[in-house]
């Protein structure tokens, strides 16, 4: 009996929580939240459910852990600009999350769920800390840092989530350039009296780059924060894209 217990413990130890979470991310990427079941997980890991339950209590905990692991990896990316420049770090954090949400189709929904359902969990504080420290380093007064950080976080997650949703709607068989060209032509044919602005930017929409446009939005938010909270709008110019 003691020998059987020791063998069971060794198998449980060999199957780490990290490996379980890694396999969960793989299942989520392949089949979405509906495809993440403990049965599928045991098959992928070639183990029994008891070994998994030793580390993870239920699917909700597993989803939280998978989300946290992906976010932690995204936030670990170092900026290409000077590591001492807070604006560069904010941009690096934003791009890390943008690319993670684009790569993992399930992530945007899980982030929205965690921000509203369990803001005390690990994911929300991790994101707020990464942005908030740099907001403080930019020079935003302490009493305004929560609002400024919230504005950046909401823009990052909202814009990144919408970009990822656009890609999923189009599907892998649709050429992005052809799609944007078709939309641009449709905009150009709108009634000039009702849609003068939309017609005027049709060419810009056709040629835009999603990541560059996303970063331009970060710079706009930072410019507004700087103008509102720093004396004479003092701040370094945004790094070149």
Q: CATH no. for residue 92? A: 1.10.357.10
Orientation angle between helical segments 86-103 and 107-117, nearest 10 degrees:
120
**% of the chain residues with pLDDT over 70:** 85
- Give yes or no: residues 217 and 103 share one domain: yes
Domain membership of residue 160 (yes or no) is yes
- Give yes or no: residues 137 and 46 share one domain: no
Domain membership of residue 69 (yes or no) is no
Domain membership of residue 241 (yes or no) is no
pTM here? Answer: 0.82
Q: Is the pLDDT of residue 241 over 70?
A: no
Which of 22-36, 195-209, 223-237 is predicted with the least confidence, judged by mean pLDDT?
Answer: 223-237
**H or E segment and range at residue 4:** helix 2-14
Domain membership of residue 71 (yes or no) is no
pLDDT at 160: 94
What average pLDDT score do residues 200-221 get? Answer: 91
Domain membership of residue 168 (yes or no) is yes
Largest Cα separation within the chain, whole Å, is 84
- Give yes or no: residues 87 and 192 share one domain: yes
What average pLDDT score do residues 111-134 get? Answer: 89
- Give yes or no: residues 99 and 189 share one domain: yes
What CATH number is attached to the domain comprising 12?
1.10.10.60
Dig out the tokens for 23 from the structure.
Answer: 């396999």
Answer whether 145's CB lies under 8 Å from 129's CB: no
- Give yes or no: residues 105 and 190 share one domain: yes
Task: Give the count of domains, the chain.
Answer: 2
pLDDT at 81: 56
- Give yes or no: residues 48 and 15 share one domain: yes
Pick 6 or 49 by higher pLDDT: 49
- Give yes or no: residues 113 and 224 share one domain: yes
- Give yes or no: residues 34 and 89 share one domain: no
Answer whether 154's CB lies under 8 Å from 133's CB: no
Domain membership of residue 70 (yes or no) is no
Domain membership of residue 64 (yes or no) is no
**% of the chain residues with pLDDT over 90:** 61
User: In terms of Cα–Cα distance, which of 64, 38, 157 is closest to 117?
Assistant: 64
CB within 8 Å of 148: residues ≥ 6 apart:
135, 140, 225, 229
pLDDT at 178: 84
- Give yes or no: residues 163 and 51 share one domain: no
- Give yes or no: residues 34 and 109 share one domain: no
- Give yes or no: residues 34 and 138 share one domain: no
Q: What is the pLDDT of residues 135-150, one digit of tens each?
A: 999 999 999 999 999 9
What average pLDDT score do residues 23-46 get? Answer: 93
Q: Label residue 164 by pLDDT band (50, 70, 90).
A: confident
pLDDT at 77: 77
Residues of the domain holding 30: 2-56
pLDDT at 84: 56
pLDDT at 153: 95
- Give yes or no: residues 85 and 33 share one domain: no
For the chain, the average pLDDT equals 85
């Amino acid at each position: 009996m003691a020998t059987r217990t020791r063998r069971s413990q060794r198998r449980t130890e060999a199957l780490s929580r990290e490996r379980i979470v890694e396999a969960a991310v793989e299942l989520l990427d392949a089949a979405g939240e509906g495809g993440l079941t403990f049965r599928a997980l045991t098959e992928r890991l070639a183990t029994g459910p008891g070994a998994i339950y030793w580390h993870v209590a239920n699917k909700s905990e597993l989803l939280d852990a998978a989300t946290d692991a992906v976010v932690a990896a995204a936030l670990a990316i170092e900026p290409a600009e000077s590591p001492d420049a807070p604006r560069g770090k904010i941009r690096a954090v934003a791009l890390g999350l943008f690319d993670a949400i684009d790569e993992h189709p399930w992530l945007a929904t899980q982030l929205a769920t965690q921000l509203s359902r369990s803001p005390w969990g690990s994911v929300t504080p991790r994101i707020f800390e990464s942005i908030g420290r740099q907001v403080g380093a930019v020079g935003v007064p302490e009493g305004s840092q929560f609002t400024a950080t919230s504005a950046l976080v909401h823009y990052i997650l909202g814009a990144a989530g919408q970009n990822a949703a656009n890609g999923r709607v189009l599907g892998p068989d649709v050429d992005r350039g052809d799609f944007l060209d078709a939309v641009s032509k449709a905009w150009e044919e709108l009634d000039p009296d009702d849609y003068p602005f939309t017609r005027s930017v049709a060419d810009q929409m056709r040629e835009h780059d999603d990541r560059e446009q996303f970063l331009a939005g970060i710079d706009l938010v930072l410019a507004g924060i700087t103008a509102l909270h720093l004396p004479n709008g003092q701040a370094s110019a945004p790094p070149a894209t």
